[in-house]
Structure 1
């Protein structure tokens, strides 16, 4: 990296959810070539999540990346927290509570509806 590029600032997005129902979005600037870990450690709004940094999964634009990944202009850093409930179990519970079949809007029933 050339010395002039080392001081160039890039614009980034940071998105994370510290708990269910709470999604946070932050626009920030960093030096060109900074890693994901350096940006997260320098962000005061993310400081409460730093002790758990090793157990969180981190991605850039929806793809998992290691903390050592250098960032580029307009990258979107996404921090994924662990699931608290197995998705299949959550669906079973919803079915039990509603008492009716859960129909997905993304898959046609394929002629299974009838009189």
Structure 2
């Protein structure tokens, strides 16, 4: 039997442009489509935004170039820049909670 290859790719494009807001689009793209094609087709970014000003993009959690070809079932993700260094945020959270409430020094919870 001869297997028929699909003539289109089904991909999803996901973006969280603001905290607590997730936008997702499922697209049907022609074979040979790239990451940039998926982002443009999703209309999650302003169409006139030049490629150099796009947020970082990736596929399944790995940063990729806009020219990366897509495969069927890929999840294209748009990453917004970090506003706070994660190490600094952890230190601040630890300072707020205190040594007794976090990490190795936390008190065990009472059994129910």
TM-score per shorter chain, which class? 0.7 to 0.9
Residue 19 (structure 2) aligns with:
20
Distance 2:93 2:63 in 1: 30
Moved over 3 A (4+): none
Q: Report the RMSD for the aligned CA atoms in angstroms.
A: 2.6
Q: Which runs of 5+ in 2 are unaligned?
A: 107-112
16 and 50 in structure 1: CA distance in 2 versus 1, 3 angstrom threshold: farther
Q: Once the 2 structures are TM-superposed, how far is the Cα of residue 54 of structure 1 from its aligned partner?
A: 2.8
TM-score (norm 1): 0.72
9 and 73 in structure 1: CA distance in 2 versus 1, 3 angstrom threshold: same
TM-score (norm 2): 0.74
Greater helix share, structure number: 1
Number of aligned positions between the proteins? 101
Q: Which runs of 5+ in 1 are unaligned?
A: 104-108
